[in-house]
């Protein structure tokens, strides 16, 4: 009887420890690419105040999708006021449906903040991602280009995965 009680107690303690040992905030939703694996996310409004600390690092970010590639869903934009973070999907390994605009998202990947050498350049971001033809295909890229001119900075992320919430 004592042995059964001890075994039962160890099982209960083990289960409790398993539940308490993970501090990871898991995002529940529709997963694309590798999903998310980092312990916690930085809200989009804090990304732009922590540029120096985050630049060149793998980070998990949370926000709301403001726009995405209307041609094939190969990039998205998450915005905080005037600041825009353009997120490209590593190796175009996944695409998002048009219905993702306005949805909350947790995503992770390499954050890159770079000062533009010539912010008044007429180069279009549309050419960077391949052949994006058709009505409205590059509207966001043009909007991002305008934002780049105003800020002299470009904020991008190469995402390995995300979860639409």
Please tell me which residue, 53 or 27, carries the higher pLDDT value: 53
- Cβ contacts of 23-30, under 8 Å, gap ≥ 24: 27/62, 27/106, 27/163, 27/165, 28/163, 28/165, 29/106, 29/163, 29/164, 29/165, 30/163, 30/164
pLDDT at 133: 54
Which of 2-6, 61-65, 157-161 is predicted least confidently?
Answer: 2-6
Half-sphere CA count of 34, side-chain side, radius 13 A: 13
pLDDT at 81: 83
Q: Which CATH class is domain 24-164?
A: mainly beta
Which of 24-28, 45-49, 80-84, 86-90 is predicted least confidently?
Answer: 24-28
pLDDT at 53: 96
pLDDT at 79 over 50: yes
pLDDT digits (tens, 9 = 90+) for 28-50: 899 999 999 999 999 999 999 99
Percent pLDDT > 70 in the chain is 63
Q: Residue 72: which H helix or E strand, with range? A: none
pLDDT at 110 over 90: yes
pLDDT at 129: 47
pLDDT digits (tens, 9 = 90+) for 113-159: 998 876 555 444 444 444 555 544 455 455 555 444 446 889 999 99
pLDDT at 101 over 80: yes
Mean pLDDT of the chain: 77
Backbone angles phi, psi at 143, to 5 degrees: -65, -40
- Alpha-carbon torsion 26, 32, 35, 40, what sign? negative
pLDDT at 73: 87
């Amino acid at each position: 009887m004592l042995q059964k009680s001890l075994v039962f107690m160890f099982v209960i303690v083990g289960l409790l420890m398993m539940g308490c040992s993970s501090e990871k905030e898991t995002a529940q939703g529709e997963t694309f690419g590798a999903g998310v694996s980092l312990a916690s996310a930085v809200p989009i409004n804090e990304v732009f105040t922590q540029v120096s600390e985050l630049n060149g690092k793998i980070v998990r970010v949370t926000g709301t999708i403001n726009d995405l590639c209307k041609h094939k869903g190969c990039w998205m934009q998450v915005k905080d006021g005037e600041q825009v973070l353009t997120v490209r999907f590593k190796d175009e390994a996944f695409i998002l449906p048009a219905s993702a605009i306005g949805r909350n998202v947790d995503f992770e990947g390499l954050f890159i903040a770079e000062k533009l050498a010539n912010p008044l350049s007429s180069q279009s971001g549309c050419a960077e991602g391949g052949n994006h033809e058709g009505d409205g295909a590059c509207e966001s890229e043009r909007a991002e280009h305008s934002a780049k001119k105003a800020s002299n900075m470009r904020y991008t992320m190469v995402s390995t995965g995300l979860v639409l919430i």
